[in-house]
Chains A and B, each alone.
Chain A
């Protein structure tokens, strides 16, 4: 507030000051405008609940329920909804109905429906089922890569290169994920330079966007800022996304940090149209954050069908009464 001594500032009320020093008012308004211009005008939310969320749920969700969920999510205006995963049903039984889901969902004209394709086999099945966008994933941690998908980071990149090349030939956009961007359950802290290496590889191979995943939710705003600063030196911020887990309750603070990162001023365009600007500094509660945190869902316990978030809050809420669906799995595990 200019040269006015601090003690005087706090003795006088603000209104009195503005009366006595009218020039202060406009100066402070300018400061306010500067402060509120720190965030991107538009934030694209990638809804991963139907895939990343459900695949980590123990209860088998019937195909009808998944389709209904995705259709309801399309109605909310979400621009990207990850629909399913073309992985072997031996490894991920929850995603065994991938083809049926992809073919039955109502595809909204404003939304995209990427599917996970870990290899060429999955990619071919996805295309045959009508996929128009796919997602691939790498890991920033060697041990996590070996334990999770049975191969080194380098070997996994070769596998992904095949998929990305094939997708390019068919003009199918590819989104990349990097797991363990802020920490690994086996290796502990992960060096930002290692994350940058993997992100850069995926980007140069042809992924239009790379999502940085805090797989175990151990990250804090400190480690998020450090990692992003490093990655953004090699990959443009417009090609980056964050995928924060809320395991340690840090997700929204980490997302806020990502939004505040310099270079993230412009939002992304969706389908060539600029989305309406969000209210200044408003954060949206990511459904991805809520659903991926399986602990949050477990708290709700009972056999309530997964129908969707409480609309006004975005945070997971339990319905007061169970919703009856025609073929919901009962507590005994049998389909009705």
Chain B
């Protein structure tokens, strides 16, 4: 830009810079009167619900095994930061996902804040029963929009997996437990490549009609772009009400925030993200995975959209888990405000 961009050290900026930048994003004056994307029907939601998946989706993809107390402390810090939904753990076999072996201990150890949900993943009836026994009040199930991915990941076809989940949703209904559905590979599959938006819509509709109150559409390998996201959402919202949809964008190709913005413009108001961008991509060595909650919140606040999240507290939680994992944060906002 300029001929000389002086490198400013921390003593000049101090924390003032960080807070100044955070306050830039929080300025309510910025966005209320401005519609981002001026065509008709592109008004953004006033409020967005953030579903924090760091403790589950994030940690399960981290190589370092994290002790239960650290997980509990992380979840407690995230509750304090104002996140309305925090995916706490996963009731899968520890043989497959050793990171989640302490599922019961974590569920029982967390300090549940009133008004906050703590869903847990339950891939089958056995997991569901164990989850309810451990005190879960909400569970999550996942289907895939790709046959090959389903076979390779959970060893059965999409139809068979949906039948399995029907057992879970029936049992959940009887127990008065809410169920959230996930669909993986909505914008591409590491094995099949392109995935048809109609297939995504079919799977989403089945999960919705089974009784899932919300369906999270996951760009599992982060290959999606705003073009693909638009097409896919158009197909899905014909079959499932937009209020029941969420997006779970991976940042593997750096497209997550742009994809989330498109989703917001199309009426979606629930976004999944992971503190510090925890969880790399198991399909692309060394690449990033989940989009960082801090970066999403920064964007939403800059748009004047309410989230209920306290960004500095969220960043503290991110810093805590990164130091426990001995890894650098994947959040650009965290890097920007800490690096100087």
A interface residues, Cβ below 8 angstroms from B? 1, 6, 9-10, 13-14, 32, 35-36, 38, 52, 55-56, 85, 87-88, 91-92, 116, 118, 137, 139, 144, 147-149, 177, 179, 183, 185, 188-189, 213, 215-226, 229, 243, 246-250, 252-253, 255-257, 260-262, 279-283, 285, 290, 293, 295, 299, 313, 315, 318
Contact = CB atoms under 8 A, between A and B. Distances in A.
Contact of A148 (B2, B23, B235, B238): B2
Contact of B335 (A14, A256, A295): A295
Given A13-B205, A225-B34, A226-B30, A215 B257 contact: no
A13 B332 contact: no
A213 B2 CA distance: 10
B84 interface: no
A220 B294 CA distance: 13
Contacts of A261: 38
B299 A313 contact: no
B35 interface: yes
B20 A229 contact: no
Contact of A35 (B27, B230, B258, B295): B230
B301 to A, nearest CB: 8
B241 A6 contact: yes
Contacts of A213: 1
13 contacts: A14-B201, A118-B3, A149-B3, A189-B27, A221-B36, A222-B30, A223-B30, A225-B31, A248-B336, A252-B257, A256-B226, A260-B39, A261-B38
B24 A183 contact: yes
Nearest to A48: B1
B31 A139 contact: no
B37 A260 contact: yes
A35 B34 CA distance: 20
A10 B30 contact: no
B226 A281 contact: yes
A295 B339 contact: yes
B3 A250 contact: no
B175 interface: no
Nearest to B40: A34
Contacts, number: 179
Given A222-B36, A247-B336, A185 B8 contact: yes
A225 B35 contact: yes
Contacts of B25: 218, 220, 248
A272 to B, nearest CB: 29
B239 A10 contact: yes
Interface of B: 1-6, 8, 13, 17, 20-21, 23-25, 27, 30-31, 34-39, 42, 201, 205, 225-227, 230, 234-235, 238-241, 253-255, 257-258, 260-262, 286, 292, 295, 298-299, 301-304, 328, 331-333, 335-336, 339
A33 B8 CA distance: 49
B4 A256 contact: no
A213 B255 CA distance: 20
A196 to B, nearest CB: 15
A299 B24 contact: no
A14 B21 contact: no
A183 B335 CA distance: 18
B230 A295 contact: no
B38 A116 contact: no
B8 A249 contact: no
A217 B301 CA distance: 15
A222 B298 contact: no
Nearest to B30: A222
Residue of B1, B31, B37, B39 contacting most chain A CB atoms (<10 Å) = B1
B239 A14 contact: yes
A281 B230 contact: yes
Contacts of A249: 257, 292, 295, 298-299, 331-333
Contact of A185 (B17, B201, B254, B301): B17
Contacts of B31: 222-223, 225-226
B224 to A, nearest CB: 11
Given A222-B30, A252-B257, A283-B226, A185 B13 contact: yes
A257 B260 CA distance: 12
A148 B336 contact: no
Contact of A116 (B3, B27, B336): B3
Contacts of A253: 257-258, 260-261, 299
Contacts of A255: 258
Given A32-B234, A260-B36, A85 B328 contact: no
A292 to B, nearest CB: 9
Contacts of B6: 147-148
A159 to B, nearest CB: 12
A256 B339 contact: no
B299 A221 contact: yes
B3 A87 contact: yes
B186 to A, nearest CB: 17
A290 B332 CA distance: 12
Contact of A250 (B13, B39, B299, B339): B299
A295 B201 contact: no
Given A116-B3, A256-B258, 12 more contacts: A10-B241, A221-B261, A222-B36, A223-B31, A224-B36, A249-B298, A249-B333, A253-B260, A257-B36, A260-B38, A281-B226, A295-B335
Contacts of A183: 21, 24
A189 B35 CA distance: 19
